Amino acid sequence: MYRLIWVGLLSAAVCQAENRSLDAGGQQDSLWLSWRGPLQSGFAPDAEPPLQWSDTNHVQWKFAVPGRGHSTPIVIADRVIVTAAVPVGEGFEPRFSGRPGAHDNLSVTHRQQFVAFVLSRDTGRLLWRRMLYETEPHEGAHYTASLASHSPVSDGQRIVVSFGSHGLFCLDLNGKVLWQKQLGKMHTKHGHGEGASPVLAERYVVVNWDHEGQSFLVAFDKFSGEQIWKRARREVTSWATPIVIEQQGKQQLVVSGTQRVRGYDLQTGETIWECGGMSANIVASPVSRNGIVFAGSSYEKRALLAIDIQGARGDLTATKNVLWDRFRGTPYVPSPLLYEDALYFLTHYQGILTRVDANTGRDAPGAFRLGGLGNIYASPVGAAGRVYVTDLRGDTLVISHDANPRVLARNRLGEPVSASAALAGTQLFLRGDKHLFCLQNP
């Protein structure tokens, strides 16, 4: 062991032949229904993913995904869902968003088809492919991003797919579009693209629409697609996906933004509490445990807050509800990992990981360098006493989840990775630049 250095649709017959009931394969420990997993925190308590792999070792299957996308795959019983933006037609001269301050961007050179793919979890066989929308995008994205960075979400019976400005879609497990919505054109800061994933809780499908125009939060009925409520937000562009937590028998929607972290009543959209202190350009999604919300950011300033929301109302800024805070080494692109009582977060998007006691904010043991890893855009995940961190080159460092973390394995996929991993049962799903890999314990 090395010690760390600290600091188009296939036939329905095919679908039915491949299909197994959720009762047979849909236990919570074998599912990953949203981009941060069963606890919305990156932690899969019952998963047993592989420790070691390469592009040939422990690969159960790999699927060549057309186009580009940084969305995390989701796992529903016997199926894996992944999305992509696929260029079509003749190319044209590069077109940029033209927004003030635009820089480091992917230009638009083709029309794009926005596509959902559903694969057999066992074999990687394509069960169906649904092209949901085709257009010439009005904006590009940052060169490290994609036009399909929103991750899908499911309740096990429906699949909700967002492509932001290019539509919100609800499908059944056989690819039939049950309903769809067009929410308008999002204009992101610097033209850096879109990425906040939809949320599915109870009967509500919620979309966070923070951009350089009038931002809003909107909820739709998952059965009918009818709008239930819509709330304006005093926010600029953010990329953070909301989370849903239960407090005093009611579900709250927690959204991290530049101005405020806010808690909303899931049923009505009314603001319950809010707390200031974040930086601009919010990317990392919050996590929560035992009535405490952990929200972080790192842009022109650094901030990480632990907010006690039990019974909270109104403005919590600089009150005793802020249990602890940190102002260095905080996360920017990757979201934190909350693994039992340990909170892990990366410094900006660099190869420095910090582990603190989530209850107190104290170092446990603090920051350490992930030797050999470069820039990291995928969010860390955890299971089976391990933490998995994957960098842009596709290299994954597996470290032990304990008070003195140590390197357990260093794995090279041989393909760039920006999307966060999914853990389900004995499998780990990594979406590379060209392929979706299913890595399997023997």
State the CATH number of the domain containing residue 108: 2.130.10.10
- Strand order of the β-sheet with 158-162 is 153-154, 158-162, 168-172, 177-181
- pLDDT grade for 96, boundaries at 50, 70 and 90: low
- Residues 144-164 have a mean pLDDT of 96
Q: Provide the domain count of the chain.
A: 1
The whole-chain average pLDDT of the chain stands at 92
Q: How far apart are the first and last CA of the chain?
A: 22
Burial 333-365 (b: 16+ CB within 10 A, else e): bbbbbbbeebbbbbbbbbbbbbbbebbebeebe
Task: Yes or no: say if 422 and 30 are a contact pair by the CB < 8 Å rule.
Answer: no
pLDDT at 94: 83
Q: What is the pLDDT of residues 271-312, one digit of tens each?
A: 999 999 999 999 999 999 999 999 999 998 999 999 999 999
pLDDT at 97: 60
User: Measured between alpha carbons, how far is 275 from 177 in angstroms, rounded to an integer?
Assistant: 38
- Residues 110-120 have a mean pLDDT of 97
Q: What is the pLDDT of residues 363-422, one digit of tens each?
A: 999 999 999 999 999 999 999 999 999 999 999 999 999 999 999 999 999 999 999 999
- Residues 223-230 have a mean pLDDT of 98
Nearest to 239 by CA among 263, 215, 257: 257
pLDDT at 4: 39
Task: Show the domain range for 190.
Answer: 5-440
Q: Is the pLDDT of residue 202 over 70?
A: yes
Q: Which helix (H) or strand (E) holds 25?
A: helix 22-25
Q: Is the pLDDT of residue 88 over 50?
A: yes
Q: Is the pLDDT of residue 102 over 80?
A: no
Strands (E) in 248-394, as ranges, are 250-256, 261-265, 271-275, 287-289, 292-298, 302-308, 314-315, 322-326, 337-339, 342-346, 352-357, 363-369, 381-383, 386-390
| % of the chain beyond a pLDDT of 90 | 85
- Residues 411-438 have a mean pLDDT of 97
Q: Is the pLDDT of residue 351 over 80?
A: yes
Q: Is the pLDDT of residue 39 over 50?
A: yes
Q: Is the pLDDT of residue 95 over 70?
A: yes
- pLDDT grade for 98, boundaries at 50, 70 and 90: low
Nearest to 261 by CA among 294, 213, 289: 294
pLDDT at 375: 95
Nearest to 117 by CA among 104, 130, 135: 130
